[in-house]
Amino acid sequence: MPHPDFPDRIRALPKFDGPFDAFRLAAQGCEVYFASYPAGTTIDSHHHETDNYGVITQGELILAIGDEEQRIGVGQWYHVAAQVSHAARFEQDTAEIEFWFDADVSR
């Protein structure tokens, strides 16, 4: 999937070396990812050491936490706490901005 409507300055950021396509912006106590997922992408159950928030900018995220599945569309935010196992899938081309906060940083 080509990078959806991300401005040139975002596309010039370092690429994320991970299981999805993203540009990485490092910040104190947080990393910010401008991510895109082609339709049909699935991410198996996993967890992070970080406290993650995201907002969908194109398409839809299908997020599974435990036995519960939720659909998160354009303009909607989601949260996955540190150490919580979750999985994701994308039935359509999707883009989002993700914030991975250090779990030990005060809120």
Q: What is the pLDDT of residue 11?
A: 82
Residue 28: inside a domain: yes
Please report which confidence band the pLDDT of residue 12 belongs to, taking 50, 70 and 90 as the band edges: confident
Q: How far apart are CA 105 and CA 70, in angstroms?
A: 27
Give residue 34's domain range. 10-102
Question: Is residue 34 domain-resident?
Answer: yes
Q: What is the tens place of the pLDDT at every residue in 50-86?
A: 999 999 999 999 999 989 999 999 999 999 999 999 9
CATH code for the domain of 58 = 2.60.120.10
Q: Is residue 3 part of a domain?
A: no
27, part of any domain: yes
Does 77 reside within a domain? yes
Would 24 be classed as within a structural domain? yes
Q: Report how far apart, in Å, the C-alpha atoms of 65 and of each of 42, 79, 81, 105 are.
A: 14, 11, 10, 23
Residue of 39, 46, 82, 33 whose CA lies nearest to 62:
39
At 107, the pLDDT band (50, 70, 90 cuts) reads very low
Give the chain's mean pLDDT. Answer: 89
Which pTM does this prediction carry? 0.80
Query: 6 and 95 in contact (C-beta within 8 Å)?
Result: yes
Q: Specify if 2 maps to a domain.
A: no
Q: Going along 28-85, which residue ranges are E strands?
A: 30-37, 42-46, 50-58, 60-65, 68-73, 77-80
Q: Tell which wins on pLDDT, 97 or 3.
A: 97
The answer to whether residue 1 sits within a structural domain is no
Count of domains for the chain: 1
